[in-house]
Structure 1
Amino acid sequence: PAAKSKGLDLSITVAANVPEVLAGDQTRLNQVLTNLAGNAVKFTEQGKVEICVAAGGSASGGKREVTFTVTDTGIGVPDDKKDLLFRVFSQVDESHSRSYGGTGLGLAISKEIMELMGGTISFESEAGVGSSFSFTVPMEEAILKSDALSATESLSCETITSQEGERIPHLLLVEDDPHNRKALGLLLKWANYSIDFAEDGLKAVEMWDKGKYDLVLMDIQMPRLNGFEATRAIREKERERGGHTPIVAMTAHAFKEDEEKCLAAGMDAFIAKPIDIDKCKLLIGQIIKQKSCGVN
């Protein structure tokens, strides 16, 4: 509707090499694509906005890389503003501030979402000519319907029952970087988790002491108390009062010795940054299920 009201030509092209059905997180992809397309329309007064989808080669895990590109004939981005573009509330062109406004949280969160999904986002732009924003994300080709039916039939009644009507898990996300905290928290909320936030280890211990959490996602390098120290403090309190809250370490240091340090500090598991949200959801589900079954 916005493109039509401005008299812009809006076109969508899907390349022939794109599989007919792809498996991915529709909500997250839609947010990023909607943000890029919305900005393209907002910053274009005449001409066109084009959306193109193309598939690339194979990615890790047997996935296909799919690239979404949004191209416009808008105001473009001046060279001295390009480094600021993915920062929160960056202004593309101060002379257009009243007409257009800033790019807001959208681009910053889109970048975080792509990183969390194992994808990338980039752009090319020339002031007064237009811009082209692209994001590439690994996606799986969906299984055939017959295979899906077979998989569904193999589910036990117990499995189906356990997936319906269960309590929403309550998580504590401990992350000192505000952008990472916001982006990962948003993705976890979309995954149907209830989330509380702590910006450092000391705050995490305070919140854990007052609340009841099914699992803690703990960053390692933080001010005041780091992740190791916060975990040891929680485990010491548990020795006094009983109970065990699963703690999953989040760190960019993904070597074997780092994992051993996390486990030695009392953490239950380890996940490397940048966070793969699908792997994170799988790990959280496994740990919470083990806890509900009394397995530590």
Structure 2
Amino acid sequence: MAIRVPSTDGSIPIRFSASDTGMGIPKEKQRQIFEAFSQADSSTTREFGGTGLGLSISARLIQLMEGEIQLESELGKGTTFSFTVAFSIGTAAEPSTLATEYPTILNKRVLVVADDEINRNLLAQLLPQWGLQPAFAANGLQALATFGKSVDDGAPFSLVLLDHMMPGMDGYEAAKKIRLLAKNEPLVIIILSSAPGLADPRRLKKLGIDRTLIKPLRRATLFEAIRHGLKPPAPSERVPTRPHEMAQAGGLRLLLVEDNRVNQKLALRLLEKLGHQVTLAINGQEAIELLQSSAFDLVLMDIQMPVMGGVEATQKIRDAELKTGVHIPIIAMTAHAMMGDAEKYLSAGMDGYVSKPVRVGFLSAEIDRLAKPANAKTLVFS
């Protein structure tokens, strides 16, 4: 795959090409392969596996974009398909409004440690959009040198994003040594892992790791983890009201599963004001991944979400709990409150039910009724 971008005034024509090293396509049959299910003869299907609708649809889409698809092929050597489409030149992106909404993350220094250059480049583009100042290391030794220098210079990093699997020194070992270098400086360490369910919360705590995120990363998940990690501690003068004795003791670890951006912000501010520690998942599948790597006291579950809805996610969680014998309370949250809904969600394995818009008193009472912080554990899903 190749992408070529010649720059011009006003627009940029981008040429995409994809090549293979197959048997090639005879010249007399090249025009016909763009026709839906059209073959030059039966031998085309036998030799080339049929062309189906893919090339026909591609040609039509490119035509609608005012481009043209082309091919170059040589028998016995392979084929190259290419097309060129013009794109308007955009203006420089403004800093994300997320950063202005959460000023506590602005200008915080972040050390990204990953041996994969593509991952480093992606984060190099993303993190500044959130108002963060990233630096990069390709392995554990580079990370220790970079972090140690930041401490010596009096400008230590506030956050470290560590890849789990790296040659020489893995993320766990690097995290332990970085934590020692940090001494008493406030520091958040987040591990990025491709292996859900392998993290032992007790080991993570011992190593000084605050959280594990499962790759591939979603923008919303990463931002929420950074925002939550870098937020200042709740003021000691907070005045909790009954029945929030648990919040007074440091708060519960809550998993909020909600895909709607507005609802996310409202719920996060409400729950954190009550003194709870809140982690966000944007759908049921992401909630399951988080439950494998982190321990929670209670789950607040939206019902209608993309990828995996609340009912299906709850059923999978309950199935996984059969292996541990631990029950995590789940409260359903829905904007479509109809007669019989409460019974339906309770029969699906949920423990409580609140309708949207959420009433503060009712939600806090449900949380206090159901939460049992001593039982918080990670789950193992088959």
For Structure 1 versus Structure 2, the TM-score category normalised by the shorter chain is: 0.3 to 0.5
TM-score, normalised via structure 1 length? 0.46
TM-score, normalised via structure 2 length? 0.36
RCO greater where, 1 or 2, for CA within 8 Å and sep 6 or more?
Answer: 1
Larger Rg: 2
